[in-house]
Each structure stands twice: as structure tokens, then as C-alpha cells.
Structure 1
Amino acid sequence: LQGNDKVDFAIELVSASDNKTVGRFREMNYDKKSVSDSSTIEIKVDCNGLKAGEYYLRLVAETELDVELNITDVQYEEYPELKKMQQDELRFDGTEAIDDYELQNYPNPFNPTTIIKYQLPKDGFVTLKVYDILGKEIKTLVNEYKPSGRYEITFDGSSLASGVYVYKLDVNNFSTSRKFILMK
């Protein structure tokens, strides 16, 4: 990896009986600062709390680079020959795979900040904007391509007057909006 290059990984838990994605472990983002050319990344998965059954893990990798990614299925008790190692432990938190778009904020009413959470079942170009009650655009919070997943962003209304505002999510062919109240 060089400069601003990055590779995004996610691990999905899949039921062996019907090949349905049961859950998604947290996503991992690696760039030049977090991984060197000679480092090995170990991923330890803890499935405590998971219902009995047969499952497999699916690694989803996304990058715009022309690179070769290698995965090995080797387990060691000790790593004497590996000089550099970074370990990430993933825990299944019981959250299911994302099937629908969602948009919500908390708290509502708010003063002066609120957290807007949204989720995307598919990759797409995301636009999240805030409008006043008359439809005038106040602020663009997100305007970029995003992979499927769960996201949150903090909206700061400290420079605005008290009142009702609307936040709107547009992605792919999906659009939804919600009202929120700024109380000072």
C-alpha cells in the first residue's frame, strides 16, 4: 500500500444449511499507516452467543487497487518466524445482515447536536442533506460513494435557529426523509 491506498475488509457469518448471511462482523480498513508490506494480519473470531449450527466465514474485500490478496488457513500456537504482527479480534455482536435501508437520529429533539444513523444494504452513491422546513438546503453531510454497511454522522445545529428541520437520504433508487427538532 502506498500513499492514500486502502483495502476494506468485512467478514460475514454464513449459515452452511442455506448459504444465507446470518451476520456481519465489524468492517476493517487498512491503509499504509496500519499495515506494512512485511506484516501479517491475524484475525481471531469469537462466536460466543451464536446459536448451535454449521457456519462458515466469508471474507469480503474491496479496493480500487490492482493488487493480489492472499488468504491462508494456517494455525500456529506460536509465531517465532513472524517478526511483525497485528491482531484484530472480531466478536459476533448478534447484529444481522443488512436487508433494508434505514435512517434515524437520536436524540430528537436535540440541542445542539444529534447523531444520524443510516444503513445501506447495497453499495451506492450516498447523499445525506439537511433542509429547513421550507425546503431550503442547509447542509450536505454526506456526498460520496459508500459500501453497504451501517454508518453514523453527527449533525451540529448550533448555528441554526430553533425549529423543525428535515434530513434526507438518497442512495441508488432509494430516498427517504425524516423530521427532527432543534430546541435551544
Structure 2
Amino acid sequence: IVTHDQEEAMTVADRIAVMDKGELVQVATPPEIYEAPNSRFVADFIGDVNLIEAVVAAKSDAGTQLRARNADLTLDTDQVTDAGVGETVWYAIRPEKVRIAQGRRTPGTVNQVDGVVWDIAYLGDVSTIHAKVGADDRDTLRATFANVSRLVENPINWDDEVVLSFDRDAGVILKG
């Protein structure tokens, strides 16, 4: 079937072909498209995603270390990339893979960044928190979490200082 409804495609398909300007850009299963997009276009087209511009700082057989361009964030990933040291890449991480807690991070820690909450979207089953993590208002990260208790008031509020964190395998490095 042909559809412009991403949710419908993810629900009914066992393979999805994503097109951009008449060109096939990725053909894969729904989990592969969502968890391992091959480009910024695919990552942004399917579902919500945080796209972090970064520079490759170090590489090894165990993974890649990145430094975010616009936030005090060092990304330690288990992904090996063919991008060279010093090359600009994008780190795509889904909001549900980002943890958020009140407080400040321990200086020098990887995969953690300080932020200030600027928006909270309570959607009933889930909440999404947007936090500013850089000097520019556009430098934000979103964290989404399930509302698993009947707690009416969220312990995290607007303007709270928070720390956002994620695991080494939570995102994917994209070159384009």
C-alpha cells in the first residue's frame, strides 16, 4: 500500500520503503526504520527524534565518542562509524530513550547534559518534557516517559534544572 500516514505504515507493514523526492532512501522492517534510520531525513520522518549536531572526537573498535556542537555534552556510543575524527555528524536519539531527573549532573560525565525545562506536554498516557540544553533556544532535548502512576502533579515543573541522560546504545550516528 502507499500511505503518507507513518503510524499506519508502521502498524500494517512488514517492510517499509521511505522515499524522498521520488528516490528510495531506506527499505527495512518497521523496527529497523525506527531504531536504525540511515539518514537524518528518515530519522525525522518516522516518529519523534532528537537530532544532535556533533563532531567525532575519538574512535575505537568499542565505539565512537562525539562532542555536541551547541551543548556541554560528550556522547559515548557503542556504534562504530566510518566518519573521521573531526567530521560533523548527527546523533539521533528518540525521546523515550532519554531519562530526565531533577538536579545537575556530575561534571565530566558522558551521555548526560544539564537542562532547564521550558515545556511540558501531558498527554494522558505519556508526558513529554522539552529542556533547553544550550545557549540557543533551539538547543533542546525532549524526553518522553509513560505516566504509570495516578500521580496528578508531575515532580518536574517549568524552569526546573534537570539532567538528561541516556545509555551508550540508545541512539544512532548519522552522517547525512
Q: Same fold (TM over 0.5)?
A: no
Higher helix fraction (1 or 2): 2
Give the TM-score normalised by the residue count of structure 1. 0.28
Q: Which has the higher contact order (CA 8 A, sep 6+)?
A: 2
Higher strand fraction (1 or 2): 1
When Rg is computed on C-alpha atoms for both structures, the one with the higher figure is 1
